[in-house]
Structure 1
Amino acid sequence: MKVNLFGWNFTVTPARYFLTAVALLGIIVIVFRLVTGMGAVTNLSDEWPWGLWIAFDVLTGVALAGGGYSTALIVHILHQDRYYPVARGAMLTSLLGYLLVMAGLFLDIGQWFNFWRPFVSWGHASVLFEVFWCVSIYTSIQFLEFGEVVTERIGRKWHLYFKKMIPVLMIIGVVLPTLHQSSLGALFLIAVHKVYPLWWSEWLPAYFLLSSFFVGPAMVCVESILSGRVFRHPVPLHVLRGLAYIGGVMMFLYLLLKVHDFTVRGLWPLVFKGNLQSWFFFFEMGLCLCVPLGILFTLWGRTKSGLLTYGVLTSLGVIMNRLNTAITAMVMEGKSLYFPSIWEIIVSAALLAMGCLLYCFIVENFYILDYKPKADKEKVPMQHRLAEAELENH
């Protein structure tokens, strides 16, 4: 059932009812956490100061939102215009991802009312300080980039100004993520004696940067195929295949660097040790890196189901890598184990639900999936041209 309120459309389905219920429950838990503190809703402790909200909501969220900068680099900087059909969808997914990252980071601050201090307290020697500023500025840049989309429907008099800013914003928006994506890996460099060797390396910044780049095309494949089914707007397979192959090259470089690093440091015995860490490592590297990389070089990788499987496994692999680096790698003998509380899980699920609902609302009300440049106006769908005419009349 489609609801129209003050000219804004939103389709109501059982799945969206469920997402709304999860989001509302999460909001209640969030308010309770902000009022009572972290101890009442999390299983964090002095031994485990970082848990699910950092490992998943922040570290993983930043990586999965990398589709925005990698697609912008390919489409707008390298001018590979054949990938334009997925550019706006990737940009929207990235913007929503960074908003959820900021929310997760805010929730993980013990005294949340001091969130403003990094703006005035210049801890320039801290990697976290650089991450905070880069993420904050990049999220602002994405807001400005999205202004081009918003002003196509509302505030049309500002559209030309936003359009003129896009080239500069794109350049800044491609440079900034390379800084904080790699810096998130650098956070663990000083924990050489706390991080299990399978996930610690001097190459951690490069690992985080490479994985954030190749997960971008994987997320674009997942988002495009699923949204194509939901909104009945399929993306041509040759577009997704081309992006997937670019991601595959970066995955292969990542794998080569890992093999070289493990060989130089003599870590292969730990890979086959048979303990908890080695099993998680096999899951991450075997099932979620080597398998999707292999899919791309088979006939299955030329089909929609193959590309969806590649995208899901690659995304899952990056999720596992971030969770392993922040949690599994910290499991040591004599140290208590950490498992997130039900409330931590609910909050993370709620943030995802909010992101999905916002994505659906924006796609249904703005030119995202079926956008084409104005220069190609004859190919713009008739319903959009009629909508533009109606807006001009108002």
Structure 2
Amino acid sequence: MELVTTFVNQAGAKLNSVRWRFRMTPMRLVFMAIAAVAIAIILVRFVLGLGATTNLNDQWPWGLWIAFDVLLGVALAGGGYGTCLIVYVLRRDKFYPIARSTMLTSLLGYIVVVLGLLIEVGQWFNFWRPYVSWGHASVLFEVFWCVSCYTVIQILEFCEVATEKVFKGFHKYLKKAMPVLLIVGITLPTLHQSSLGELFYLMVGKENILWWSVFLPPFFLLSSFFVGAGMIVIESSLAGKALDHKVDNSVLRGLVRISGGAMLLYLILKIVDIAVKGTLSNVFAFDLPSIMFLIELVFGVIIPIIIAFSSLSGTRKGLLWFGILDVAGVILNRFNVVFTGLGKYLNQHGGHYSPAWTEIVVSLGLVSIACLAYLFIAENFNIMGHHGSESVEGVMIDGIDYASTAK
């Protein structure tokens, strides 16, 4: 499928044409089908409310959409700020080829988070109220503002990429603004990533002692940082097949070792936390929370650390296993915090929760939309294998440019 966009100036003279491509494959058709069903369910949810499309109740006001679309979405999208820190602040130029693709994944992840918040909020039509109501004492207020502002910052950062192809006259201004955007874009996630942990730190006596900790904010922040490498490894593997793009093993291995260092600090803090709280007996009680905690720690942290600092990180298979276990460990952690950790307390009040099929389809639909957007952008903009600032040709001047699209 191909579209041609023609740019004209105010006088109507044709300046240039831009081609837009999007290959249709069986997998992309599946994504489209899931997205279409999800959009239909979302519309029903907006009209009839949460009760018609979820299994949430008064005891379980937070379910799959918060755990998966918001908490997990924010964590998995954390690779953007981590990569920016490594590439643009620490000046590790060897990682530059994956910078743009990682930032794009992060942007799409945060858009999914924002959509998830809009869908999950009971009275969704009041989404604008935090912008005009100053709730500075609320952790959720800070999270809302940080996530909103960071999403806008990421959109502006992507515009620097987009204006290499369209509306080129704005490119030089966005390029000049990039240093400020990058610094702000690195700072904001450190605030809301840790604040999401603060939400559960406030639940003293409700959250299971295995996951409740004074270290919850740094736990959430560290895990959002080290999961970035896992996401990049998985993304590069999938992109290699879908877009015929391959990232050098040395680049991925370097990222994995940086991630492994953050994981090692995370593990040390976990051990200190267990010792300070005196919960070693809880860890090895071998009931459901204990088993889930051990699986999360062993398969999601300890084994990835071993892979990161061994010869396995030099092989494609070893890197892929690191990515899978790294991401799976963070997924399990967020689900444990919301479901396993709070389950006993919430269920004793008569409430029981399991996701409705509609909740699952909506979550899969949001991921499908993000995947389709990633594929379209990667096929049409300079995302993959970007090694530096290319010269911009055909910069439009003489006033504002307009676009018309034709088959």
Query: Which range, TM-score by smaller chain?
Result: over 0.9
d(CA) in 2 for partners of 1:391, 1:246: 42
Corresponding residue for residue 357 of structure 1: 372
Q: 2:382 pairs with 330, 351, 367, which one?
A: 367
Corresponding residue for residue 8 of structure 2: none
Q: 2:310 pairs with 285, 290, 298, which one?
A: 298
d(CA) in 2 for partners of 1:74, 1:298: 22
Q: CA deviation at 1:302?
A: 0.8
Q: 1:344 pairs with 359, 365, 374, which one?
A: 359
d(CA) in 2 for partners of 1:287, 1:82: 29
Indicate yes or no: 2:138 matched with 1:123: no
Q: CA deviation at 1:229?
A: 2.3
Indicate yes or no: 2:70 matched with 1:49: no
Q: CA deviation at 1:22?
A: 0.2
Corresponding residue for residue 284 of structure 2: 272
Q: Is the 8 A contact 1:127 1:187 kept in 2?
A: yes
- 1:250-286: CA deviation from partner (whole Å, max 9, x where unpaired): 0000000000110111111111112111111122111
Q: 1:334 pairs with 345, 348, 351, which one?
A: 348
Corresponding residue for residue 204 of structure 2: 192
Q: Is the 8 A contact 2:260 2:309 kept in 1?
A: no
Corresponding residue for residue 382 of structure 1: none
d(CA) in 2 for partners of 1:274, 1:74: 40
CA RMSD of aligned residues (A): 1.6
- 1:145-178: CA deviation from partner (whole Å, max 9, x where unpaired): 1111110000001000000000010000001000
Indicate yes or no: 2:149 matched with 1:137: yes
Q: Is the 8 A contact 1:19 1:354 kept in 2?
A: yes
Structure 1 residues 391 and 164, CA gap change in structure 2 (3 angstroms): closer
Indicate yes or no: 2:274 matched with 1:257: no
Give the letter for the 1:70 counterpart: G
SS at 1:207's partner residue?
helix
Report 1:1-394 matches (<5 A): 3-6=1-4, 7-332=19-344, 334-335=348-349, 336-374=351-389
SS at 2:22's partner residue?
strand
Q: Is the 8 A contact 1:225 1:304 kept in 2?
A: no
Corresponding residue for residue 13 of structure 2: none
Q: Is the 8 A contact 1:153 1:391 kept in 2?
A: no
d(CA) in 2 for partners of 1:217, 1:147: 24
Give the letter for the 2:235 counterpart: E
d(CA) in 1 for partners of 2:356, 2:255: 38
Q: Unaligned regions of 5+ residues in structure 1, if any?
A: 378-384
SS at 1:327's partner residue?
helix
- 1:186-227: CA deviation from partner (whole Å, max 9, x where unpaired): 001121111000110011001000000111111111111221
Higher relative contact order (CA 8 A, sep 6+): 2
Q: Is the 8 A contact 1:67 1:213 kept in 2?
A: yes
Give the letter for the 2:348 counterpart: G
d(CA) in 1 for partners of 2:140, 2:275: 31
Give the letter for the 1:314 counterpart: D
Q: Is the 8 A contact 1:138 1:176 kept in 2?
A: yes
d(CA) in 2 for partners of 1:231, 1:91: 17
Give the letter for the 1:11 counterpart: R
d(CA) in 1 for partners of 2:182, 2:335: 30
Q: How many residues are aligned here?
A: 381
SS at 2:253's partner residue?
helix
Give the letter for the 2:261 counterpart: V
Q: Is the 8 A contact 1:8 1:365 kept in 2?
A: yes
Give the letter for the 2:63 counterpart: G
Q: Which has the higher mean CA deviation after the structures are superposed, 219-228 or 66-75?
A: 219-228
Amino-acid identity (%): 52
Indicate the structure with greater helix content. 1
d(CA) in 2 for partners of 1:241, 1:282: 26
d(CA) in 1 for partners of 2:373, 2:149: 21
